[in-house]
Amino acid sequence: MAGQIPLQLGAKKTKSQSVTEPPWVRRVLISAALLFLALFLVLPLTAIFIKAFEQGIDVYTASITHPDALSAIKLTLLVVVLTVPLNALFGVAAAWAITKFDFRGKSILVTLIDLPFAISPIIAGLVFVLLFGSTGLFGDFLFEHNIQIIFAVPGIVLATLFVTFPFVARELIPLMQAQGSAEEEASLTLGANGWKTFMRVTLPNIKWGLLYGIILCNARAIGEFGAVSVVSGHIRGLTNTMPLHIEILYNEYQFSAAFAVASLMSILAIVTLILKNIIEWKAAQREQQEDVV
């Protein structure tokens, strides 16, 4: 097989003349795409870093080591640590249920999974205020038991969970549908129970798709602004996540500090993108391995 992979790659590159465009069309299209990229992605990204370091490295370090900034970073990481594993678990469970079994209400479940994508994050935030706020549905109950959800960390976690829950499931459903359940059935006939089948057969097969979903989920959990903004209450050092902290700094005309924190987030985003690419590349390689029949 080792000899066959390059062969396949080669075959992919040499497309027949009939499906390619004339050289000038290709050149125009490519330069348009590159120009667009430069204008809307590279330029803003560079601007963030230039602005962040405008007043020198000392201001930069001071901005990101400020107690409020540190607490925002910590809170963001906490939210990520709580939401991503939960959503990964939920996503796998939902994809498993949807692709391997037939049950009543399956299509409704599929639709519900897409709900957070379909509605605005602001509404997602407001829903939780309506449910758990002081005048909300469970407001009195929560007040009596001295539990604070809205304008506190639990609310932020809930809102982020809601907004990021489709990522893993959406990534896995088509993958698992394409794979079918023949291997799982083989595992069952060989005497493996459901859990062993999942751990030894299903999970290895969906590994790359799952990681990809987790990375997207992670990126969104770090960056979520709208829904979190509604439920957070913007209490400095307590309920501010990184995006909220940036907004506050910006509104207070502390541009360098705002951009310093923003640059930190951009680095996280870039790292995520690189990870995402590595995973895509690995997954493609694996797929090719399987295609060589």
Binding site for another protein (CB under 8 A): 1, 182-183, 185-193, 196, 200-201, 204-205, 289-293
Which lies closer to another protein via its Cβ, residue 28 or residue 203?
Answer: 203
Sign of CA dihedral 264, 266, 272, 274: negative
Enter the tokens of residue 276: 């995402």
Which lies closer to another protein via its Cβ, residue 236 or residue 286?
Answer: 286
Which lies closer to another protein via its Cβ, residue 185 or residue 252?
Answer: 185
In whole angstroms, how close is the CB of 277 to another protein at the nearest point? 22
Q: Max Cα separation, the chain?
A: 74
Which lies closer to another protein via its Cβ, residue 31 or residue 289?
Answer: 289
Closest CA relative to residue 247, chosen from 258, 239, 236:
258
Burial class (CB in 10 A: 0-12, 13-18, 19+), 64: middle
Q: Please give the C-alpha separations between residue 145 and each of 128, 135, 148, 231, 239, in angstroms, as whole numbers.
A: 18, 15, 9, 20, 21
In whole angstroms, how close is the CB of 194 to another protein at the nearest point? 8
Which lies closer to another protein via its Cβ, residue 51 or residue 207?
Answer: 207
Helix extents (H) in 101-202: 106-118, 121-132, 139-144, 153-164, 166-179, 182-189, 194-197
In whole angstroms, how close is the CB of 180 to another protein at the nearest point? 9
In whole angstroms, how close is the CB of 284 to another protein at the nearest point? 15
In whole angstroms, how close is the CB of 203 to another protein at the nearest point? 10
Report the C-alpha gap between 191 and 197 in whole angstroms. Answer: 9
DSSP helix/strand/coil, 224: coil
Report the C-alpha gap between 265 and 277 in whole angstroms. Answer: 18
In whole angstroms, how close is the CB of 104 to another protein at the nearest point? 14
Which lies closer to another protein via its Cβ, residue 206 or residue 230?
Answer: 206
